[in-house]
């Protein structure tokens, strides 16, 4: 029997037993629903079940009641326990609005694509709304192939690209992509239409003219299969998130299949996602002529440590951040108005045994905002600096008392917020 049906019939003489029973059943319902960790823009957090969600408000249900949160004040809501995918995607489709769909099947005919979303239904949409389609072959999966694929999709091709597999590598041909079936891909090259076996096709990249500006999104929904839906509208209904992307693609994602809801778009900018205006490095004992191998080792690292290890401070791993070696200076021109700079500054755990002592200074438009020593013998420093009106953010990692020995500076979660 559903808990809500039991609450109304259990009564004590003074009503207290009934209240205790109701609280018990509410607690059972909350604990039984998928639990999420919610991060707010001001650095706060709370945990609970998602009771409601629309374009304005997220309602979190806890054992002691519900809390309404404005999406404007939120960074993210991440599942405490991410379920294992029931099957692996065979296709990855990216739309022109930046949404990525992990799919079980993909076909197209007469300019219309049919996509069976992992864990969901089959949807139809115009091929002109697609940026690329990648067909997975687990037997040939490798970092080398991923790097080649990223090169193909990085540019703006003049024509469609047919990307084929060729002895552990990929090759591309310009032309026009036609109908796609389970067995073949029609591809027109120099006026001749070929039927290419789909087993040989690694992916399709579509040529598009510059489109209209798309509406802003309220958040991004990522599921356990790897789909990433940029949502211009979202609503929780009967345990499923109804999501609409800026291009009009709509789907429903079971709340139990949601890995993360990201509401940070436009509110938070990680420095590792921003190309620096400039970066310079000066070694302690510097040769007269630059040595390429040294320049490569000492260059700015994004989302990894200096030795390409995961960023780690005080025993905790961090997914986002930058790493620098003394003496280095990096300058960022901020693309908008931001209020705060936040980061956790410390010597990477991998280098602490050898020491590490960096004289760190953060500057905004040439004015010092913070200055101090970052030592491997000390815990990491949490920085939160006011940067209202700052257009150029400069980070100086200078030599400390130990020359440059083990000066592996991590700025984990380095970001600017509005």
- Let me know whether 280 and 198 are in one domain: no
**CATH code: domain of residue 377:** 2.60.120.1060
Would you say 272 and 414 are in contact if contact means Cβ atoms under 8 Å apart?
yes
Q: Does a structural domain hold residue 81? A: no
- Let me know whether 370 and 299 are in one domain: yes
- Let me know whether 28 and 97 are in one domain: no
**pLDDT tens digits, one per residue of 142-167:** 677 888 888 888 777 788 999 998 88
What is the dihedral angle through the alpha carbons of 77, 78, 83, 84, rounded to the nearest 10 degrees? 130
By DSSP bridging, strand 321-325 and strand 301-302 are antiparallel
Q: Does a structural domain hold residue 196? A: yes
For residue 381, the enclosing domain spans 269-417
Which residue, of 168, 184, 205, is where some domain finishes? 205
- Let me know whether 23 and 125 are in one domain: no
**pLDDT tens digits, one per residue of 287-335:** 555 555 566 678 899 999 988 889 999 999 998 999 999 989 999 999 8
Buried b (16+ CB within 10 A) or exposed e, 109-120: eeeebebbbbbb
Which residue, of 205, 232, 257, is where some domain finishes? 205
Checking if the pLDDT of 268 tops 70, the result is: yes
Q: How many domains does the chain have?
A: 3
Q: Does a structural domain hold residue 62? A: no
- Let me know whether 149 and 274 are in one domain: no
177 sits in which H/E element: strand 169-180
Residue 199 backbone dihedrals phi, psi, to 5 degrees: -60, -20
CA 82 to the chain's CA centroid: 16
Would you say 73 and 40 are in contact if contact means Cβ atoms under 8 Å apart?
yes
Checking if the pLDDT of 62 tops 70, the result is: yes
- Let me know whether 24 and 102 are in one domain: no
Q: Does a structural domain hold residue 377? A: yes
Query: Once rounded to an integer, what is the mean pLDDT over residues 116-136?
Result: 92
**pLDDT tens digits, one per residue of 332-390:** 999 888 999 999 999 999 998 888 999 999 999 999 999 999 999 999 999 999 999 99
- Let me know whether 376 and 291 are in one domain: yes
- Let me know whether 287 and 412 are in one domain: yes
Q: What is the pLDDT of residue 21?
A: 42
- Let me know whether 97 and 25 are in one domain: no
Q: Does a structural domain hold residue 66? A: no
Euclidean distance between CA atoms 148 and 254, whole angstroms: 34
Euclidean distance between CA atoms 38 and 362, whole angstroms: 29
Would you say 26 and 62 are in contact if contact means Cβ atoms under 8 Å apart?
no
Would you say 219 and 245 are in contact if contact means Cβ atoms under 8 Å apart?
no
Would you say 338 and 392 are in contact if contact means Cβ atoms under 8 Å apart?
no
| CB-neighbour burial class of residue 209 (10 A; exposed 0-12, middle 13-18, buried 19+) | exposed
Q: Does a structural domain hold residue 139? A: yes
Euclidean distance between CA atoms 281 and 294, whole angstroms: 10
Residue 203 token pair:
């992916």
Which of 23-32, 181-190, 307-316, 397-406 is modeled with the greatest confidence? 181-190
Would you say 163 and 149 are in contact if contact means Cβ atoms under 8 Å apart?
yes
**pLDDT tens digits, one per residue of 230-244:** 999 999 999 999 999
Positive or negative, the CA dihedral 157, 163, 166, 167 is positive
Euclidean distance between CA atoms 9 and 18, whole angstroms: 8
Residue 91 token pair:
């296709």
Q: Does a structural domain hold residue 280? A: yes
Do you find a cis peptide bond into 327, omega within 30 degrees of 0?
yes
Supply the Cα-derived Rg of the chain in whole angstroms: 26
Alpha-helical regions (H) of 272-314: 292-297
Distances (CA, A) of 88 to 69, 165, 168, 193: 34, 20, 21, 32
Euclidean distance between CA atoms 128 and 130, whole angstroms: 5
3-state secondary structure 22-36: HHHHHHHHHHHCCEE
**pLDDT tens digits, one per residue of 395-408:** 999 998 877 788 89
Q: What is the pLDDT of residue 374?
A: 94
| CB-neighbour burial class of residue 189 (10 A; exposed 0-12, middle 13-18, buried 19+) | middle
């Amino acid at each position: 029997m559903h808990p809500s049906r039991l609450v109304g019939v259990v009564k004590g003489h003074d009503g207290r037993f009934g209240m205790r029973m109701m609280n018990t059943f509410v607690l059972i319902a909350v604990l039984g629903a998928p639990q999420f960790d919610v991060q707010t823009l001001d650095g706060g957090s709370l945990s609970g079940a998602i009771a409601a969600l629309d374009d304005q408000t997220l309602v979190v249900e806890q054992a002691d009641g519900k809390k309404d949160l404005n999406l404007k004040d939120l960074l993210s809501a991440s599942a405490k326990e991410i379920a294992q995918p029931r099957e692996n995607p065979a296709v990855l489709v990216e739309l022109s609005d930046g949404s990525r769909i992990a799919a079980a099947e993909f076909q197209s005919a007469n300019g219309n694509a049919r996509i069976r979303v992992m864990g969901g239904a089959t949807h139809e949409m115009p091929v002109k709304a697609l940026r690329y389609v990648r067909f997975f072959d687990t037997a040939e999966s490798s970092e080398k192939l991923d790097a080649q694929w990223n090169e193909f999709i990085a540019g703006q091709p003049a024509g469609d690209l047919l990307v084929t597999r060729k002895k552990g590598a990929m090759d591309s041909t310009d032309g026009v992509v036609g109908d796609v079936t389970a067995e073949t891909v029609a591809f027109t090259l120099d006026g001749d239409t070929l039927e290419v076996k789909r087993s040989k096709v690694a992916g399709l990249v579509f040529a598009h003219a510059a489109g209209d500006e798309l509406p802003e999104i309220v958040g991004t929904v990522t599921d356990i299969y790897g789909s990433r839906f940029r949502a211009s509208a979202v609503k929780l209904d009967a345990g499923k998130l109804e999501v609409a992307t800026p291009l009009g693609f709509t789907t429903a994602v079971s709340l139990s299949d949601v890995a993360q809801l990201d509401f940070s778009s436009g509110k938070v900018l990680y420095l590792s996602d921003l190309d620096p205006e400039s970066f310079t490095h000066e070694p302690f004992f510097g040769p007269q002529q630059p040595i390429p191998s040294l320049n490569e080792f000492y260059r700015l690292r994004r989302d990894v440590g200096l030795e390409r290890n995961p960023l780690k401070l005080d025993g905790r791993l961090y997914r986002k951040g930058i790493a620098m070696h003394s003496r280095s200076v990096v300058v960022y021109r901020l693309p908008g108005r931001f209020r705060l700079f936040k980061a956790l500054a410390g010597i990477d755990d991998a280098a602490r045994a050898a020491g590490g002592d960096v004289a760190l200074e953060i500057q905004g438009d040439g004015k010092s905002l913070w200055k101090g020593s970052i030592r491997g013998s000390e815990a990491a420093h949490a920085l939160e600096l006011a940067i209202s009106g700052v257009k150029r953010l400069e980070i100086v990692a200078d030599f400390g008392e130990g020359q440059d020995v083990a000066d592996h500076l991590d700025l984990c979660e380095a970001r600017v917020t509005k």
